[in-house]
Amino acid sequence: MSESAATVQPAEPARSGRLRLPCGRTVTRLWELLDLRDQDTPPTRSHRVLEDHVHGCPHCTAELSRLRELRALTTALAQDAPRAPEGLWSRVMSVVRTELRSGPDLMLVPGDPRAVVATAAVTRVVRRSLQSQPEIRSVGRISVTAEDGAGLVVTVRITGSPTAPAGLADSAADALRVGLADAVGATVIRVDVSVEADAGQEQIDG
């Protein structure tokens, strides 16, 4: 085999519409070869010639590997056994609940609608990031919005523990930025944290 694996190219559609490999063989012929192998059918002379070629051809070897994957997919599809629809209703309702509370989608890259994240997913990251801070007693309302396609704006209310240090808002904002960078990765243009006075209430936000 004279060519490295890195130079192996997938089949390209030729002008005739046939998928032809760089070595000149067509995908159709390889598919036939795969059929013969699977069915244990004696090969014709032309297939024996092709078989000999395949052994030394990186393009055909790679394409055969892809065709086997495709066959596995189609075989799995054909063999899907009928099953009872258990849990279907709970799945549907779970999806409905999730969607209803997920809020609008936010662009992960400003101006690129191909990659978005549900607001609820980001909100959960914000809540987890803050709840992991021992000096924060409770996390209140969280708002996550996208501002002019430039990035995310996060606004949150927290209550500090009785021993919380001064500057809690800043440390909470720092924790938030780290948490969002690790989990979301989107540009965060502003984090507003307001700290409410601890009135001795035992409220814990879930």
Residue 176 interacts with another protein (CB under 8 A)?
Answer: no
Residue 18 interacts with another protein (CB under 8 A)?
Answer: yes
Q: Could you tell me which stretch among 76-84, 139-147, 164-172, 191-199 binds another protein (CB under 8 A)?
A: 76-84
Q: Residue 37 corresponds to which amino acid?
A: R
Contact, 32 vs 2, CB < 8 A? no
Q: What does the alpha-carbon distance between residue 38 and residue 71 come to, in Å, rounded to a whole number?
A: 11
Residue 128 interacts with another protein (CB under 8 A)?
Answer: yes
Q: How far is the CB of 120 from another protein (least distance, A)?
A: 8
Contact, 172 vs 128, CB < 8 A? no
Residue 15 interacts with another protein (CB under 8 A)?
Answer: no
Do β-strands 136-146 and 152-160 pair in parallel, antiparallel, or remain unpaired?
antiparallel
Q: Could you tell me which stretch among 49-57, 121-129, 133-141, 166-174 binds another protein (CB under 8 A)?
A: 121-129
Sheet holding 188-196, edge to edge: 136-146, 152-160, 188-196
Residue 10 interacts with another protein (CB under 8 A)?
Answer: yes
For another protein (CB under 8 A), the number of binding residues is 53
| 144 Cβ neighbours under 8 A, 6+ residues apart | 103, 106, 119, 122, 123, 126, 152, 153, 154, 155
Q: Under the rule (CB under 8 A), what is the footprint of another protein? A: 10-11, 13, 17-19, 26-28, 66, 69-70, 73-74, 76-77, 80, 82-88, 90-92, 94-96, 98-99, 102, 105, 108-109, 113-118, 121-122, 124-125, 128, 181-186
